[in-house]
Amino acid sequence: MKCVINRRAQFSAAHRYWLPELSAAENEAKFGEGSQFPGHGHNYVLYVSLEQEIDENGMVMNLSEVKPVIQQEIIDPLNNSYLNEVWEEFQQTLPTTENAARVIWQRLEPYLPLVNIRLFEHPELWADYQGNNMEASLTVGTHFSAAHRLARADLSYEQNCEIYGKCARPHGHGHNYHLEVTISGEIDSRTGMIVNLQKLHDLLDEVVVEHLDHYFLNEDIPYFAEVVPTAENIAVYIGYLLQNPIAQLGVTLERLRLIESPNNSCEINCRELSEPQGEPATQQAALATY
């Protein structure tokens, strides 16, 4: 039987987003604060996922063999380094999070049965790479606060309480929602990016945060006049909001994870999103003009 195991490692390194063939103004326009001299640093966290048949010793691989490979091939050369100069690959293609995950895969593939490399630049930005040429995925996090009430209009208060418990109380309640958005695309062979990160953050702020933050969803968002704003339905709605704008950035919306509280979260596969049902025409027009 096959099994996936994960090994965690970490390193600290600096990098700069700067292309010598561009002027200072062009670099700043393309990379924003990331182009500033002499660069900036991160405490990176790396997860190496391996898959094989479970052997007679009950292992996919002996971790005493895995750890020194990761240490020698990745941690020793990258820790406390300036990534732009440490490896030749980063001189050709900038050391973005997604490209770093790709190059780490290439460095480890001769030694380990890899199925995924996940590299965290910080807790709200990470990349996944699975050996598919220049294709990678990037996950960014954001948050908003909103109130909701869980109740169906066709049911009595007592019936709603049987389904939704305290969440059916008439004046609603609020959450500090954390949203993780995963996109996928091709890594640019020069910039190392699958998307302009600043444009992605700006899009999330405008399309999701400004649209939902500090609102009572049942009354302020027309979609939830007919749809109960559970975490699951909020995630689907955000998927509807983001589908077209994300596509306009040249990447694919893959997944959304909505964390309602430390104990409750949901995740949807955005490739399975159908056309929104009952979406008000005014909202459709607003999305079309983004």
User: Closest Cα partner for 274 from 231, 239, 232?
Assistant: 239
pLDDT at position 56 over 50 = yes
What is d(CA 39, CA 58) in angstroms, rounded to the nearest whole number?
45
Which of 109, 130, 151 terminates a domain? The answer is 130
Q: Are residues 213 and 274 in the same domain?
A: yes
- pLDDT of residue 237 exceeding 90, the answer is yes
Whether pLDDT at 195 is above 90: yes
Q: Could you give the residue numbers annotated as active site?
A: 167, 214, 260
Instruction: Let me know: does 216 contact 151? Beta carbons within 8 Å.
Output: no
Q: Are residues 51 and 158 in the same domain?
A: no
Same domain? 93 vs 146 = no
Same structural domain, 144 and 25 = no
Do 97 and 137 lie in one domain? The reply is: no
Q: Given pLDDT bands bounded at 50, 70 and 90, which one contains residue 280?
A: very low
Residues 173 and 88 in one domain: no
Same domain, 86 and 148: no
Final residue of a domain: which of 98, 130, 162?
A: 130
Taking the C-alpha atoms of residue 237 and residue 203, their distance in angstroms, rounded to an integer, is 16
* Summary mean pLDDT of the chain: 93
Residues 88 and 200 in one domain: no
The confidence score (pLDDT) of residue 81 equals: 97
37 and 155 part of one domain: no
Does 20 have pLDDT greater than 50?
Answer: yes
Cα(64)–Cα(67) distance, integer angstroms: 6
Mean pLDDT of 257-275: 93
Categorize the per-residue pLDDT at 289 as very low, low, confident or very high, splitting at 50, 70 and 90.
Answer: very low
Q: Domains in the chain: how many in total? A: 2
- So what's the pLDDT on residue 174? 95
> Is it the case that residue 231 has pLDDT exceeding 60?
yes
CATH number of residue 218's parent domain = 3.30.479.10
Q: In the structure, what pLDDT confidence band is assigned to residue 274 with cuts at 50, 70 and 90?
A: confident
What was the pLDDT predicted at 276?
Answer: 66
- Among 91, 113, 130, the domain-final residue is 130
136 and 209 housed in the same domain: yes
Q: Given a cut of 90, is residue 109 above it in pLDDT?
A: yes
Query: Hey, what are 284's tokens?
Result: 């459709």
Predicted TM-score (pTM) of the model is 0.91
Give CA separation, 70 vs 14, 45, 61, 73, 95, in Å: 19, 13, 13, 5, 18
- Does residue 290 surpass a pLDDT of 80? no
Q: How confident is the model at residue 281 (pLDDT cuts 50, 70, 90)?
A: very low
Domain identity same for 172 and 160: yes
Same domain, residue pair 278 and 149: yes
| Model pLDDT, residue 162 | 97
Model confidence at 279: pLDDT above 70: no
Higher pLDDT, 274 or 118: 118
**Mean pLDDT of the 95-120 span:** 98
Q: Does the pLDDT at position 6 exceed 90?
A: yes
Where in the sequence is the domain holding 105, given as residue range(s)?
Answer: 1-130
Q: Express as a percent the part of the chain with pLDDT over 70.
A: 94
